[in-house]
Structure 1
């Protein structure tokens, strides 16, 4: 199954800290994208594309198992969010060539997860699981240090 419910699921936390520019607390900014919508893309997505704003890489997946592994890194709880958080990239899921879901990717202390769009505007959020965080750490570790 795509998401688990209950206390066993822990949102991911990025270990690397960046200097704080102001004192801000993390709190959910949006409700979670519904389980039904996540399940729909889990069962039907045929393509996933992710771009990163400051890294010279992108991720493209067109195999069901790959896409489902990426989706399994999305938690059921809303993402904790600070107003100073900035997305590191954007992700799209397609079914037979049509974009069906898209989200900004957040990956910094206090903001680890996805902010999903609805009708072109941020509307929902989901925390990233620890497995999801490991997925992105693995991707980023493949980028040479001088390009990060």
Structure 2
């Protein structure tokens, strides 16, 4: 009988110690540095829907220039312009400090720049920063269709797509 109780106590202690070790392993991910857990909050509001609707109705030319790629694009067909405008998400975009603009898009109405935006297009950085008076005023995420569109365009030029989907 003594042996039975001794074995029972040893088994209980062994299981208790083993369980404590498992709990420590499960808790380990929660001890990551706070910096890696924090998401970057949007510092600029999203482009007002009224401005986007105005571009939808009036924009008659879009010019896109990439800074480090040997390609540029221009659009003057209403359907193409509206397809590109649909690639702007309503959600405001966070602007991580390590993101760099890949190019500039100019939205024109009757030959005048109505609005300009920096395009951020690299892994983890897919958004637009719209400028007013040359300064960042709004930031919107890029829709998945926009990521696909820019990746496809870059690949058609014989270059590697910068964003994995």
Does the 8 Å contact 1:112/1:128 carry over to 2?
Answer: yes
Q: Aligned partners of 2:88, 2:141: CA distance in 1, in Å?
A: 6
- TM-score of the superposition, structure 1-length normalised? 0.79
Post-superposition CA distance 1:62-112 (Å, at most 9, x none): 010000000000000011220111010000000000100100001123321
Match of 2:43 in 1: 29
Q: State whether structure 2 residue 100 is matched by structure 1 residue 86.
A: yes
Segments ≥4 residues shifted beyond 4 Å: 22-25
SS of match in other structure, 1:77: strand
Match of 1:138 in 2: 152
Does the 8 Å contact 1:52/1:88 carry over to 2?
Answer: yes
Query: Relative to 1, partners in 2 of residues 1:124 and 1:114: Cα closer, same or farther, differing over 3 Å?
Result: same
Distance apart, 1:28 and its partner CA:
1.2
CA RMSD of aligned residues (A): 1.8
Greater RCO (CA < 8 Å, at least 6 residues apart):
1
Q: State whether structure 2 residue 117 is matched by structure 1 residue 108.
A: no
**Largest Rg, 1 or 2:** 2
Query: What are structure 2's unaligned runs of at least 5 residues?
Result: 1-34
The number of residue pairs the alignment matches comes to 126
Query: What are structure 1's unaligned runs of at least 5 residues?
Result: 1-21
Query: Relative to 1, partners in 2 of residues 1:46 and 1:93: Cα closer, same or farther, differing over 3 Å?
Result: same
Larger proportion of helix: 2
- TM-score of the superposition, structure 2-length normalised? 0.71
Q: Aligned partners of 2:48, 2:131: CA distance in 1, in Å?
A: 12
Distance apart, 1:47 and its partner CA:
0.2
